[in-house]
Amino acid sequence: MTNQTIDIQLLKALSEADGIGGREKEVSRIVKAYTQPYVDDLFYDALGSLILVKKSTQKNAPKVMLSAHMDEVGFMVKEITDAGYLKLLPVGGWWGHVMPAQEMRVTTVSGEKFVGVIGSRAPHGMPTDEKNKVIPANRFYLDLGVASAEAAKDLGIAIGDMVTPHTMFREMNDPDFLLGKAWDDRVCVAACIEVMKNLASSELAVDVYFAATTQEEVGIRGARTAAHQIKPDLAIALDVTTAEDTLFDQGGLTLGGGTVLSVLDSLTIGNPGLVAKMEELAFEQQLSFRHDFMTVGGTDACNIHKAMKGIPAMTLSIPTRYMHSSRLVIHKEDYRQTIHLLCAFLNVLSASDIREFKESAGGFPSGD
């Protein structure tokens, strides 16, 4: 186990904040408030990604990009019916089985919030084949408990408003287990904040750019624009991965076993030298780690590693139960060890290491 202190209030604030793709402002302001005291500079790109910078004491130091996305899966109001129901459009991937009768929260343009419930049907008399069908995510509606469209509009609700799960963060019966919404990817946003905080007084051989990115769940868009803004020499994406330690899914990653090194996913092959360096440091630091081969889905690393002339990149992951639902579960130890490993890596990273990472993928340093 590591000695990394857990800032519960940071995790609570990020989990409970609302921010679907293209609507991440509430989240970015939390990131800014927590991180600004520990960085040398910060700025936004035109898609709303927040980029925070820890400068090296060395001139012309290589740039390392850390990336974790702020957006969560959710919905957008696409229609207000005469009876006051809100028809919803999914923003990100949802499985219909997890949605009926869930509480959701509408955030208006002015920032006011109203809670409703996803409509469902009573099973009494329903044909068996109907019971077994998955409701398509684009057929869901929200019941606000109002009687007309006018009543909904009087609340300030309008077409295009953001709709997100109404889920309160909490430590579970074993307080190492944390329940909340949006752990995909707010737990990794929190981890990057802690890394920047821990590195604030360190003298590094690299400039560290933490990009809290937008619109990952709808096409990994913010990572692309942030990478072109930063022009990094090396990149590490942080994202969640699927835990397979429940009665539905067994035999894979478990909660509490340490950080996860992604060797590949469906959109990115991790730089082999970079993965090997992470393995070496994990052994040195006596940290637990696992490998992941995720054949479905991807992370910010997908669009970062293809930017400019190509960027050595990999993903560090934190296992998560019940991904893309209203309530997800993570473990404090995986969070702690991910922060520990990343801090250890950045404290020893040098320009020569980055050249070796490029060579490990078959490339050559500039001028060779």
Domain boundaries, the chain: 8-72+181-360, 75-165
Q: Tell me the mean pLDDT per 10 residues along the chain, length 368.
A: 82 98 97 98 97 96 98 98 98 91 96 96 84 88 98 98 98 98 97 97 97 96 96 97 93 94 92 96 95 88 93 96 96 97 97 93 62
Q: Supply 47's token pair.
A: 């898609």
Q: Whose CA is closest to 218, among 28, 75, 77? A: 75
Superfamily of chain region 75-165: Peptidase M42, domain 2 (2.40.30.40)
Determine which one of 16, 216, 217, 333 is catalytic. 216
Largest CA distance in the chain: 74
pLDDT of the residue at 368: 47
Dihedral angle computed from the Cα positions of residues 282, 284, 286 and 287, in that order, rounded to the nearest 10 degrees: -10
* Total-model pTM: 0.95
The side-by-side arrangement of strands in the sheet containing 313-320 is 41-44, 50-54, 207-213, 63-69, 234-242, 313-320, 259-265, 289-294
Identify whether 216 is a catalytic site residue. Answer: yes
pLDDT of the residue at 124: 84
Q: Same CATH fold, 75-165 and 8-72+181-360?
A: no
The CATH class, in words, for 8-72+181-360 is alpha beta
